A and B are shown apart, each in its own frame.
Chain A
Amino acid sequence: MATGESGQRVGRAVRENPLLVVLVVLAVVLAGDIVRKLLGGGLVVNDLVSLLWNGTILGLSVGLAGVGLAMTYSILRFANFAHGDLMTSGAFAGWIATFLVAGFGQFAFDALAHLGGPFALNTNDLGVSVTNTPLAIVLGLVVAAVFAALLALVLDRIVFKPMRDEGGIALLIASVGVALVLRYLIVFTLQAGRRGLTAGQKTPSIRLTFGGGTFTVNAHEVTLVVLAAGLMLGTHLLLKYTKLGKAMRAMADNEDLARVTGIPTERVVRATWLLGGGLTGAAGYLVALEQGTITTTLGWSLLLLIFAAVILGGIGSIYGAMLGGLVIGISSRLSLVWLPESFILVGAFSVMIVMLLLRPSGLLGGVTTA
């Protein structure tokens, strides 16, 4: 009677959540349409692969940035709107370090320290790329992570710590203020405008010709994918196997219980900011590396996508954030098959709103793993 039982279970699931069923049906129809387009020649395999690859890159960037957001969300219980600008700050600090190391002695200090900015600086002459100047890149990544981590700690000390007992909304509003301060301090000191970072022709890339087109993978994309996956794995191990990770999970689950058990909650909060900030700074650095340019709105423009990823995965779950990032990244790129480019973000935000309405606990069902 196994089939009968499972039939009943499906029937109950359909009755309880009809909208979810509609979504699943929609997903199946869309997948079918992709197959139809592939067979009918409306879409070539190569384009599909390239959409999937770009989606993975976007997904891992968003997911990595989302891990930090999910951590602070689960432990401090507020939506941190300054998260995007923390990412931007880390990215700027890291890239300034990279430029200074890569161009030391050959270029004017001022020009390097402003990433070009008001000065003329030819990025092709500077020649920053992961294979050409690996040391500068590694150092920049470390600086980005450390700077963002320390900045997060300082912001916590000044802004969020005095507000520990306040509700989520008050903290959210404060974080909006922090976001404005961070972003426009960068604009004020380093001046706005998009800056080129990497040297295009010095970045090795592989061109693959198959399935009716060519598809290019460059070293920076691979770096982002490998490092993002590695950092996420590292975070997973840390949460799972260290005492700190255990304490963080306990706090996310029940703060009062954690405190009476003797967990030093303030110390765990500090560790959360350090860890979350570090990951966020690294994410910002890697996103800038992959894009090859940096702007002062780098993080802010990704923030809603990061929220979408975190919500999709279930707020407070870092595994959810990783998964949510991938789903958001891949689905938003894949939506280019049907939607014009100006609607990609509209699609992603709509998915987020629908998800919040139908299943606010997220894809993974609300496991708050810290």
Chain B
Amino acid sequence: MSASSISGRVRAWAGVSDARLLLLVALGLYVLFLVAAPLQGYDLNGTFNSLRRITFLSALYGILVLALNLQWGYAGLFNIGVAGFMAVGVYTMGILSSAPTSTGAGLGLPLPVGIVGGLLAATLVGVLASLPALRLRGDYLAIVTLAAGEIIRLTIRSPVFQEVTVGGVTIGTGGPQGMQLPENPIRILFYEEPAAFASDPNAIGKAVFPFFEGFGIEDTVVVGWAYALVLILILGLVYWLLVRVGNSPFGRVLKAIREDELVASSLGKDTRWFKVKVFALGCALMGLGAILWRLSGGYTSSSSYMPIQTFYVFIALIIGGAGSNTGSVVGGAVFVALLFEGPLVIRRLISNLFEIGQVPRTFFDALGSLAGLDPGPLLAYVVTDVNISALRLVLLGVVLVYLIQRRPQGLLGHRKEVASSVDLSERSGTGGEK
């Protein structure tokens, strides 16, 4: 069997259903990272941890990209303040649920209250921010949402709100120092005292940890995997919710707004309300994604909500193809594994496989050695922490320009769900694009 026919069969099989496609992407990325793990010098524990990391980040980016896809891909609302809405969710949750004694004091309410509060706050700010969306053209809205995101970040960072005492209760964002958050809720599953840093495992912990320790896998990796699996579950729920929304009459109006707002409003739909609702729902989901993200580390600071965070989500969405929920999830995973983690993997791979000599002082010294047919110094220069991070961002920029020029429809091709319930562009019985 020739290679092309195999790839053709794979494509035909994957094209049948979105679930299979997602499975195939996940499998492909896992295999890639499994192969790369020993080359980076990882033992079993390190391998499991690197797989956990891409699972964790892919699930989070999946949620964030789905939320953005709802706003941009469905309703055509160009929101580049994603980071700001994420911050609103996380900080509200923190203020409600963090311990009163922690840096960035909170009220110490139960975590579910904090999470619901965070989602409500993100929704509310979303409603507020959507008001400009009712009046403004695309690029104006982009500038307004970017500014709104920055206003949120700068306010959180301001020392003024580091600690505020209202009516005898002290709360605060921690200002430039950042904010301690409640402990990772997944610890409840494994530990007697989840809040304590060094706690004895409970019955489940006692049953699970020794089994994995037998393979040399540390407890923290096991706990991290459990959290990542919960995130996958939540991603599944969000995906299901958004597919339902997209296929509902509400979703059809959204797609109609995206294609031609005038037509939608001529048909008697009050497009303004649809925009407000979809913007608010999207912002709530961004808040959810960010809350789940930061709960894992128990700490957050304003530097996590720079505009670059928004652009990460955008790049992931554009990779997957705006307008498709499945594409959003695929885009999130591909972005995390190849663009975000990929350069770091390559860096560790090079450091592990090659003898890295002294790092040259400047890029031009490295180039000079290259001219003398010695690529070693250039390699050494590239694989330093700072330089590989810079190169990663250059790569992201290039990918963004390339995609928007050559493949604006994303990796998966034309998967943008059409506004009509029947695909009008296909006439014969080949079925729709799905």
Contacts and interface: CB of A to CB of B under 8 A. Distances in A.
A110 interface: yes
Contact of B361 (A118, A163, A183, A346): A118
B397 A353 contact: no
Residues of A contacting B: mostly: helix
Given A168-B138, A172-B139, A180-B311, A342 B154 contact: yes
Nearest to B384: A191
Interface in A94-140: 110, 113-114, 117-119
A255 to B, nearest CB: 17
A307 B135 CA distance: 18
B111 interface: no
B397 A181 contact: yes
A214 B153 CA distance: 35
Interface stretch (B100-108, B222-230, B399-407): B399-407
Given A117-B362, A192-B386, A342 B159 contact: yes
Residue with the greatest number of chain B CB neighbours at <10 A, chosen from A110, A179, A342: A342
Contacts of A340: 158-160
A322 interface: no
Given A184-B390, A353-B144, A360-B140, A345 B154 contact: yes
Contact of A181 (B151, B159, B394): B394
Given A169-B78, A169-B138, A356-B132, A177 B146 contact: no
Contact of B144 (A189, A192, A343, A356): A356
Contacts of B137: 168
Q: How large is the interface on B (under 10, 10 to 19, 20 to 34, 35 or more residues)?
A: 35 or more
Contacts of A304: 143, 146-147, 150
Residue with the greatest number of chain A CB neighbours at <10 A, chosen from B131, B361, B364, B404: B404
B404 A184 contact: no
A187 B391 CA distance: 9
Contact of A349 (B136, B150, B159): B150
Interface string A323-355: 000000000000000001011011001101100
A184 to B, nearest CB: 4
Contacts of A308: 147
B26 interface: no
Nearest to A168: B139
A74 to B, nearest CB: 13
B135 A357 contact: yes
B139 A163 contact: no
A117 B363 CA distance: 12
Contacts, number: 140
A174 to B, nearest CB: 5
Residue with the greatest number of chain B CB neighbours at <10 A, chosen from A162, A177, A183: A177
A311 interface: yes
Interface residues of A, number: 51
A78 B139 contact: yes
B132 A342 contact: no
Contact of A188 (B157, B363, B398): B363
B155 interface: yes
Contacts of B396: 177, 180
Contacts of B131: 357
B405 A174 contact: yes
Interface in B309-334: 311, 314, 318
Contact of B143 (A79, A178, A345, A350): A79
Interface of B: 78, 131-132, 135-140, 142-144, 146-148, 150-151, 154-155, 157-160, 311, 314, 318, 361-365, 386-387, 390-391, 393-394, 396-401, 404-405, 408
Given A180-B400, A340-B160, 7 more contacts: A119-B361, A184-B394, A308-B147, A342-B158, A350-B151, A352-B144, A353-B132
22 contacts: A79-B142, A117-B362, A118-B361, A159-B405, A162-B405, A163-B404, A176-B400, A177-B400, A177-B404, A178-B401, A181-B397, A181-B401, A182-B397, A184-B391, A188-B391, A189-B363, A189-B364, A191-B362, A192-B386, A304-B150, A346-B151, A360-B140
Query: Lowest 10 A-B CB distances belong to which pairs?
Result: A180-B397, A177-B400, A181-B397, A342-B158, A177-B401, A184-B393, A188-B390, A349-B147, A187-B390, A177-B397
